[in-house]
Chain A
Amino acid sequence: MGVYEGRGQLSRAIKLLQSRWIETKTGWDDAASAHFEKKFLEPLEADLRTAETAMDHMAAILNQIRRDCQ
Chain B
Amino acid sequence: MCSEANGPAPRAAEHLRCSYNTPMAEGARVDSILVLTDFKAVLWKFRESAERALGDAESEMQRVLVWLETEQDSHWQHQIRKCQETVVRCKEAVRMKTIFKDAAGRQQSAVDEEKALRIAVRKLQEAEQKLAAVRRWSRQLQKEIGLYKGSVQRFATTVQSEIPAAAAHLESLAAKLDAYASLTPGAVIGAAGSEIVAGAGAGGGSMARAPDTPSAPVAVRFSVPPIPAEQQRVIANIPAPRQPVVPDSRLRIDPASEMADSLILRHDPSGWVIAPADANTSASGNAIAIGQLLDLRPDFGELLTLPMGFSVMIGPEGIAALHDAGGSDVWSEVKPRRS
Contact = CB atoms under 8 A, between A and B. Distances in A.
B68 A16 contact: no
Nearest to A12: B49
Interface of B: 1, 22, 24, 26-32, 35-36, 38-39, 42-43, 45-46, 49-50, 52-54, 56-57, 59-61, 64, 68, 72, 76, 130, 133-134, 137, 140-141, 144-145, 147-148, 151-152, 154-156, 158-159, 162-163, 165-166, 169-170, 173
B148 A24 contact: no
B333 to A, nearest CB: 45
Contacts of B163: 40, 44
B158 A69 contact: no
Nearest to A9: B53
23 contacts: A1-B52, A6-B53, A6-B60, A9-B56, A13-B45, A24-B39, A27-B30, A27-B35, A28-B30, A28-B36, A29-B29, A39-B166, A44-B158, A50-B152, A50-B154, A51-B154, A53-B151, A54-B152, A55-B148, A61-B144, A65-B141, A69-B72, A69-B76
Interface in A26-70: 27-32, 35-36, 39-41, 43-44, 47-48, 50-51, 53-55, 57-58, 61-62, 65-66, 68-70
A43 B56 CA distance: 23
Contact of B134 (A6, A9, A20, A69): A69
A48 B153 CA distance: 10
Given A2-B56, A6-B56, A51-B152, A13 B49 contact: yes
Contacts of B130: 68-69
B152 A20 contact: no
Nearest to B30: A28
A12 B29 CA distance: 29
Contacts, number: 152
Contact of B30 (A7, A21, A30): A30
Nearest to B134: A69
Contacts of A10: 49-50, 53-54
Contact of B57 (A35, A41, A50, A58): A58
A65 B72 CA distance: 11
B27 A30 contact: yes
B57 A44 contact: no
Contact of B53 (A7, A27, A54, A66): A7
Contacts of B29: 28-30
Interface of A: 1-3, 5-7, 9-10, 12-14, 16-17, 20-21, 23-24, 27-32, 35-36, 39-41, 43-44, 47-48, 50-51, 53-55, 57-58, 61-62, 65-66, 68-70
Contacts of B28: 30-32
Closest 10 CB pairs of A and B: A2-B60, A54-B151, A6-B53, A27-B31, A31-B26, A27-B35, A51-B155, A13-B49, A40-B166, A47-B155
Contacts of B68: 65, 69
Given A10-B53, A32-B24, 17 more contacts: A5-B56, A6-B52, A6-B56, A13-B45, A13-B46, A13-B50, A16-B46, A28-B31, A30-B29, A41-B166, A44-B162, A51-B151, A55-B57, A55-B148, A58-B144, A58-B148, A68-B130
